[in-house]
Amino acid sequence: MSTHADQKSPNYYRIAMQSALAAGFCLGLPAGLLLWLILFREVVPSAVIDGSVAFLQANGLNKIIVLTVCSLTWSFLLGRISGYRAWWKIGFATALGILAGWFSPLSNLDGWLPGAAGDELPVHTLYALAVCGIVSSVTLCVGLAYGFLLRSGKAALVLALTTSLASMLTVLLTILFFDQFGIRVGTGNFAMSRITAMSLLMSAITGGTVLGVGFSRFVEDENPTPDL
């Protein structure tokens, strides 16, 4: 016979599915918004799309601001999914993690290479390093921020490392998938936009799934008091 506690135990399959959808729409699509607009503009030319592209291209900060604002919706949904009612605290942690990761030295992974080594590597390899650096840096910082929110060093390390690893591996697999069809950065035909947009979307889905499940587990285990 099921106990009362068993009946209240979280359904982690449901949490994983909901987290994946929420992360894809609220993080993945906004992260690659400029690239999706560029691709869509080639199919359906529009003055509105042209204006949006120009706005996002005008300043590098515009893209990160759009992502940070959209992350508030993710934070609200994660609060509902995980049972952590103070979703605005999740929102603050998410925004802080995104900004910290964006400006972290890890986000410039391709720049770590010595000058000669960087010049010898093909463009698509340098591109893969750059995207992996940005994605891993942002997801690492967001995971750490969530752990600090839960006041748990264990949660910070686990969420940061698992989310970062899952997201980075997804980026690499997506790049390799496109490469099998001869689509790689430097070959033209909007290859970089197509690969990057899909990489960011897929990494957000997998990273969001890992983060959603992990965060929900720690919320249940640590039994935080979000009302305080």
- Which token pair is 13? 């399959």
pLDDT value of residue 222:
65
Domain locations in the chain as residue ranges: 14-222
- E-strand stretches of the chain: none
Tokens standing for residue 88:
């605005």
pLDDT at position 225: 46
pLDDT, tens digit (0-9, with 9 covering 90-100), for 67-95: 999 999 999 999 999 999 899 999 999 99
Residue 172: its pLDDT value, please? 94
Opening angle at CA 129, ends 154 and 149, nearest 5: 25
- Using the structure block, give the residue that is written with the tokens 């790049």: 175
Helix (H) / strand (E) containing 145: helix 123-149
Three-state secondary structure readout of 164-199: HHHHHHHHHHHHHHHHCCCCCCCCCCCHHHHHHHHH
Chunked mean pLDDT (size 10), the chain, 228 residues: 50 94 96 93 86 86 90 96 93 95 78 58 83 93 96 95 96 94 84 94 97 94 51
- Which residue in 66, 68, 73, 85 sits closest to 21, CA to CA? 73
Q: Which residues of 122-147 are buried (b: 16+ CB within 10 A; e: fewer)?
A: eebebbbbbbbbbbbbbbbbbbbbbb
Convert the pLDDT of each residue in 104-122 to its tens digit: 887 776 666 655 555 567 7
- CA atoms of 128 and 27, how far apart (whole Å): 20
Q: SS in 3 state form for 202-221?
A: HHHHHHHHHHHHHHHHHHHH
Nearest-angstrom CA–CA distance, 6 and 1: 10
For residue 4, what pLDDT is reported?
42
Report DSSP letters for 42-53, one per residue: HHS--HHHHHHH
> Whole-model pTM?
0.87
- Give, rounded to a whole angstrom, the gap between the first and last alpha carbons of the chain: 36
